Structure 1
Amino acid sequence: MALQSALITGGTGFLGSAIARALHEKHPDCKITVLDTKDPAAIRPLPDGVSFINADITSYEDVRSAIEPVKPQVIFHVAAMLGSVSERYGRKERDVMFKVNVTGTKNLLEAAKSMGVEAFVHTSSIAAVMDDMTTEYANVDERWPTTHSSLIYGESKAAAEDLVLNPSNNPLATCALRPSLMCGPGDEMLLPTLHACIAKGETPYVLGDGYKLWDFSYVTNVADAHVLAAENLISSQTAAGEAFFIQNNEPVTSRDFLLAVSAHFGHYPPFEIKIPLSLAWFAGLASEVSCWITGSTATFSRGVIRESCMAKYASGEKAKRILGFEPRVGIIDGVRLSCEDYARRIGVELAS
């Protein structure tokens, strides 16, 4: 079934713009509007004919005024606050994060229901389940509960999911997609962070056993999953009221992912030192203090250490069975393409 019109919040961002391109590729006649606070002309390319609305999702009036003239058949709600890398393991950003991620979602749902929108695809995150740092997540599935006592990002995404999947949204058909860590063209988080680790000479250090499996996703695969979800919600609706883990379904260790990125930039750790978890914790504390004194951002911290030593990967069976989702770009090609894009942006040559 062809999609007729769509509104993408956060549509000038990393994932939002990828969804716009995937939607245009598969449904070229679909009228696409992106809603954001950043002008797309200054950020990422969007398909020809895509309309842009500058609006703040934390304002219900902004949201209603944006949706009313567009009258979208489907809303892709991608806009969210991720928080700064240095604050991921802190609490300082909680209020503003909940305002964006939870209140913003509530505003969009209420406006969508009042204006006859048919489908609402919400971009959640694996963090809605996996941000509780007290346990590990090895091949978990959607039966695992969301977490409401974890890192603030995970708490906010869990709370937003509760709103999206609530049966009171009927007749609006909703679902939530939970992507894992993403890489790809335009990535401003994962590749820059790993490249900073390389630049700081932190790659030789292996924390704990160093080989816990993680999920990673190539951004165009996640965009494909969003389009499949929208198609389902306006046809069979077997995805309605459901959450889905979305990833490349090729779990690798965080260590191997870092080494793969390093190799593309011609860097190979000259040695390897395994640091016991207890000792690593103190090293992370020392790094945080050093960065606080110098005013730099800590890429090696106690939070990073705890998370690096946890398994964090999920089953993709449900997304395959209900949405028909299968990644088109494998993780090896995804890493290569991500590194090529980041190298172009920072003006360096990759290793041949």
Structure 2
Amino acid sequence: MSHLHVLLTGGTGFVGTAILKALDEYHPEYRVSVLDFISESRWARPNTAFDIQYYQADITNRHQVSEAIHACKPTIVIHTAGMVTKNNSRYRDPNPEIVFRINVEGTRNVLDAAKSSGATSFVYTSSVTIVTDDQDHDYPNVNETVPTGFALCTYGQSKLAAEKVVLAANSPEFATCALRPSTLMGPGDTNLVPTIQRCIAEFETPFIIGSGLNLYDFTYVGNVADAHVLAAENLTRPHADDRTAAGEAIFITNGQPVPFRSFCLAVWAEWGHAPPFEIHVPKRVAWTAGYLAEWWTWIRGTEATLCRGSVKDYCQTAYADISKSRRILGYEPRVGLPEGIKISCADLKRRMEENKLS
């Protein structure tokens, strides 16, 4: 559909930027607009074929969102905007009501405005954490039939609540779907790879928590962007019966689960670092060490790379079956895990160097 008009919320962010690049690659004929909360002057506008129309709005402000989306009048909304809890706040969020206001009520505001403005489709960026934030259990090769509602962390709880709102709105006239990416890396990553890289300076790399063999999913952000484009294509097909993604939640990963420890070793190797020795630390001992590390880093005024919650993450088996994404969307990860790690680390090195020079 050459006349397709895509509105991308959160288009200045990590996932949003990758989606803009994917849209530019696959569909330069589309009309693309961006809605975000930062002022346009602060946005490092990417070099694309699009003449991007920018709308500034706070998604928690229903009036601002409605005004912007009715002015835009998109065909489809890709909704990535939201709040991602990071570091220690991921495990013990001091302000869960803020996360829910942004991720749930903000999503509801965007969804309602999209419907009333005449949009016909809506792709929501959900998260695998709606399942895996139940950190007391393992989730090997999990698929979309697994029961949800057991997440222990605020982020996973909020993403599930928002996903339910989106999927409940699906109809023949307004097709919706939810994509559930796993833990992301890539250009612009401020969470995963930077946290693992900091372990070098904290002298934490020799310690293997638990078995070190637990399989985990990591996903390159460009692959997730591809999936969003495929979902948009699916939901905007002319005939409702062909919109096979409508009403569906779909896991998106690299399809290459690896031991958590192996991923960390690969990241450290990009900095020329290999642990000088290895010490296996039982999970219970590590949990106590995480508790002490939280106190020690609190006293120092720094952020703990090791904490009780991260110990659970490091030891959890959590990876998804992406058969459904392949079947419904035709999704296939283009960037493999080794290449994704190299790209992610090179980007982080560049940003670290820029910060030194600034």
Q: Distance in 2 between matches of 1:274 and 1:9?
A: 44
In 2 relative to 1, CA 43–197 (structure 1 residues): closer, same or farther, beyond 3 Å?
Answer: farther
Which residue of 2 is the match for residue 87 of structure 1?
89
TM-score, with structure 2 as normaliser: 0.94
Deviation of the 1:308 alpha carbon: 1.0
Q: Is the 8 A contact 1:184 1:335 kept in 2?
A: yes
Q: 1:93-143 CA deviation, whole Å, 9 max, x = no partner?
A: 210000000000111111111111011000000011111122111000000
Which residue of structure 1 aligns with residue 178 of structure 2? 176
- AA matched with 1:261: V
| Cα displacement (A) at 1:168 | 6.0
Are residues 322 and 119 of structure 1, via their aligned partners in 2, closer, same or farther at CA, if it must alter by over 3 Å? Answer: same
Alignment pair present for 1:21 and 2:27:
no
Shift of 1:344: 1.1
CA contact (8 A) 1:130 1:147 kept: no
CA contact under 8 A between 1:213 and 1:313: conserved in structure 2? yes
Give the secondary-structure state (helix, strand or coil) at the position aligned to 2:313. helix
Q: Distance in 1 between matches of 2:44 and 2:195?
A: 20
Partners of 2:151 and 2:323 in 1: how far apart? 27
TM value normalised by structure 1: 0.96
Q: Which residue of 1 aligns with 2:304?
A: 298
Cα deviation, 1:221-243, whole Å, max 9, x if unaligned, reads 10000000010001121000000
Matching residue of 1:199: 201
102-111 or 46-55: which moved more? Answer: 46-55
Counterpart check, 1:209 vs 2:215: no
Q: CA deviation at 1:84?
A: 3.1
Residues 8-28 of structure 1, C-alpha deviations (whole Å, 9 max, x = no match) = 111000110111111122111
Q: Say which is worse superposed, 85-94 or 230-239, in terms of deviation.
A: 85-94
Partner of 1:247: 253
For 2:8, the equivalent position in structure 1 comes to: 8
Which stretch shows the higher mean deviation, 257-266 or 184-193?
Answer: 184-193
Q: Contact 2:96–2:154 at 8 Å: present in 1 too?
A: yes
Q: CA deviation at 1:217?
A: 0.8
Once the two structures are superposed, what CA deviation does each residue of 1:22-61 show, in whole Å capped at 9, x if it has no partner? 1122111211111111246645442251221110000111
Supply the distance in 2 between the matched residues of 1:196 and 1:51 (Cα, whole angstroms).
38
Q: Which residue of 2 aligns with 1:238?
A: 244
Structure 2: how far apart are the matches of 1:96 and 1:167? 24
For the residues of structure 1 that align with 2:336 and 2:2, how far apart are their CA atoms?
27
Percent of paired sites with the same residue = 47
The corresponding residue for 1:323 is 329
Secondary structure of 2:295 counterpart = helix
Residue 109, structure 1, aligned to residue 111, structure 2 = yes
> 1:144 Cα deviation (Å)?
0.8
**1:336 maps to which residue?**
342
- CA–CA distance in 2 between the matches of 1:201 and 1:3? 54
Structure 1, gaps ≥5 residues long: none
Matched, 1:281 2:283: no
Counterpart of 2:109 in structure 1: which amino acid? N
The 3-state SS of whatever aligns with 1:81 is coil
Unaligned stretches of 5+ residues in structure 2: none
Partner Cα distance (1:101, 1:77) in 2? 10
Amino acid paired to 2:315: C
What amino acid is aligned across from residue 320 of structure 2 in structure 1?
A
Q: Secondary structure at the match of 1:33?
A: strand
Q: CA deviation at 1:341?
A: 1.0
Q: Is this contact kept in 2: 1:213–1:252, CA < 8 A?
A: yes
After TM superposition, give the deviation of residue 275 of structure 1 in Å: 0.3
CA RMSD of aligned residues (A): 1.5
Partner of 2:274, secondary structure, is: coil
Letter aligned with residue 80 of structure 2: V
Which residue of the partner structure matches residue 38 of structure 1? 38
The alignment of Structure 1 onto Structure 2 pairs a total of residues equal to 348
